[in-house]
Amino acid sequence: MGQLFGTDGVRGRANADLTPELAMAVAVAAAHTLAERDRSHPPLAVVGRDPRASGEMLEAAVVAGLASAGAHVLRVGVLPTPAVAFLVDDVRADLGVMLSASHNPMPDNGIKLFAAGGHKLPDEVERQIEAAVLANAGGGAGTGGWQRPTGAGIGRVRDLADGADRYVKHLLGALTHPLDGLRVVVDCAHGAAYEVAARTYREAGADVIPIHAAPDGLNINDGCGSTHLAPVRAAVVAHGAHLGLALDGDADRCLAVSADGAEVDGDQILAVLALAMREAGTLTDDTLVATVMSNLGLRLAMSAAGIRLLETRVGDRYVLEELYRGKLALGGEQSGHVVLPAHATTGDGVLTGLLLMARMAATGRPLAELAAVVTKLPQVLVNVPVADRTAGAGAPEVLAAVAQAEAELAGTGRVLLRPSGTEPLVRVMVEARTEETARAVAERIAALVRTASPPPA
């Protein structure tokens, strides 16, 4: 099928693309696909969401679908995606569901699924769930070979009152150094970490100034968070903070800002953590995992430090696959997804900020100095709205332009053309010795993508 799942779950405009009916169907299929096979006990599911208004509607549909499949449900309410993943493992649930469109605008929403242990699903399992949704599309008691339970067989629903407490305690258990003396501005994006982020950092010893921490269901990611750094930059300077942290709507990613308001992106954060872990002897095989979108400057910095860099496709799920395959300790993306398998089964923005500040506290060095280990090549990313991602990225004239650009750069830069896995976009990324060169090449290719697949009306 390949139509439901993108790079990070099922995503679309809530109540248009992602309807309650579809959410219920996915929940039923997930329960039957992911629940333990022996059925010696009813399956248990954890369900959480971010604060966007449509999450209330979709949560009701998902919970109903799970209970109709015979699964008991623990609702954890508004918590970050990594908190839901953690709680799936912590309560020994069979599966987890997070309702969030991450950094996307408020009208969107999404369904992220976790298997037992809080792990994201491999492609094959997602394909099984997609097939099950299709097979059961007609509804009814026995479609898809499933019998609906009745009476005592219907799943029960209750709230997990201490979910946030468990998650914060877990995060603090990963702390390598107290944060006493650090002042941090935290932009919560009016999102899922609006309470737990500030609470965690305060309990770790930091002086915390939260901003955009008053979600109303409509303001998530609206001019704030990891996709809009201007507010946190201004707040850091205004409050004389040592740094700022910017989370996205579901807090699975984190970007940072140094004391002077300069951005510290995911590549730089990965470098800081990699060097800290190598020093502590916890960077397995002296290896870091990153994606093809990471800046060439990260590669050069890690090579100079004697750290091997492994590349994956874009998406933290692929970083995770490489980490687990090699039993490695650190990986992530330029966008701020950072994965530390010793502490989390997915990217965790609150954890990332905690460990970044711990490194600052332990060394006594400012963030700008720590991040300077990476000298970034100018990188230009153009997101091109398209009607057809495949046509836009695969047109012969587009591919010819990419080949020509790579020949022009002749090893001094690179071109990456990638259809988005979650939005109707083709991403054109170019690195070069100067920003002018990178922008000129990126815009030239982007113009051809627009011609090959104009944006929808």
pLDDT tens figures, 215-261 = 999 999 999 999 999 999 999 999 999 999 999 999 999 999 999 99
In this prediction, the residues of the chain whose per-residue pLDDT falls under 50 are: 1-2, 139-144
Q: Residues 11, 51: one domain?
A: yes
Q: Of the candidates 161, 191, 215, which is a domain's last residue? A: 161
pLDDT tens digits, one per residue of 94-148: 999 999 999 999 999 999 999 999 999 988 999 999 999 988 765 443 344 577 8
Among 137, 161, 185, the domain-final residue is 161
Average pLDDT, the chain: 93
Measure the CA–CA gap between 200 and 196, rounded to whole angstroms.
6
> What angle separates helix 20-34 from helix 54-68, to the nearest 10 degrees?
40
**Range of 145's domain?**
5-161
The helix or strand, by DSSP H or E, that contains position 232, with its residue range, turns out to be helix 230-239
Angstrom distance (rounded) from CA 48 to CA 166: 14
Contact 50, 78 (CB under 8 A): yes
325, 341: one domain: yes
Task: Select from 109, 115, 68, 117 the least CA-distant residue to 89.
Answer: 117
d(CA 26, CA 45) in angstroms, rounded, equals 13
Give dist(CA 9, CA 101) in Å, integer: 9
If asked whether residues 184 and 230 sit together in one domain, one would say yes
User: Of 117, 139, 161, which marks where a domain is finished?
Assistant: 161
In contact, 209 and 186? CB cutoff 8 Å: yes
Which residue, among 435, 205, 418, has the nearest Cα to 312 in the 3D structure? 418
Flag whether 319 is in a domain.
yes
pLDDT at 196: 98
The residues annotated as belonging to the active site are 102
| DSSP bridge pairs for 415 | 430
- Are the C-beta atoms of 243 and 182 separated by less than 8 Å? yes
Contacts of 88 (CB under 8 A, 6+ apart): 46, 95, 96, 114, 116, 117, 118
Give me the pLDDT at residue 36, please.
58
Q: Which two tokens stand for residue 450?
A: 């627009």
Query: Are 174 and 223 part of one and the same domain?
Result: yes
Residues 419 and 299 in one domain: no
Are residues 291 and 225 part of one domain?
Answer: yes
What are the two backbone dihedrals, phi and then psi, of residue 12, each rounded to the nearest 5 degrees? 175, 180
**Is residue 457, in this structure, part of any structural domain at all?**
no
Do 256 and 390 belong together in one domain? no
Query: Which residues touch 426 (CB under 8 Å, ≥6 apart)?
Result: 383, 384, 386, 389, 392, 393, 417, 418, 419, 420, 449, 453
Q: What is the pLDDT of residues 156-170, one digit of tens each?
A: 999 999 999 999 999
**How many Cα atoms within 13 Å fall on the side-chain side of residue 242?**
22
CATH code for position 26: 3.40.120.10
Rounded to whole angstroms, what are the CA distances from 299 to 267, 271, 304? 9, 10, 9
**Structural domain total, the chain:** 3
Residue 318 lies in a domain: yes
148 and 174 both lie in a single domain:
no
Other Cβ atoms within 10 Å of 453 Cβ, number: 23
Task: Check whether residue 146 and residue 240 sit in a common domain.
Answer: no
Same domain, yes or no: 211 and 346: yes
Q: How far apart are CA 139 and CA 173, in angstroms?
A: 46
Instruction: Give dist(CA 274, CA 141) in Å, integer.
Output: 53
399 is a domain residue? yes
Q: Write the DSSP assignment of 90-103 as a string of letters.
A: HTT-SEEEEE--TT
The model's pTM is 0.88
**Does a structural domain hold residue 123?**
yes
* Residues 112 and 239 both lie in one domain: no
119 and 210 part of one domain: no
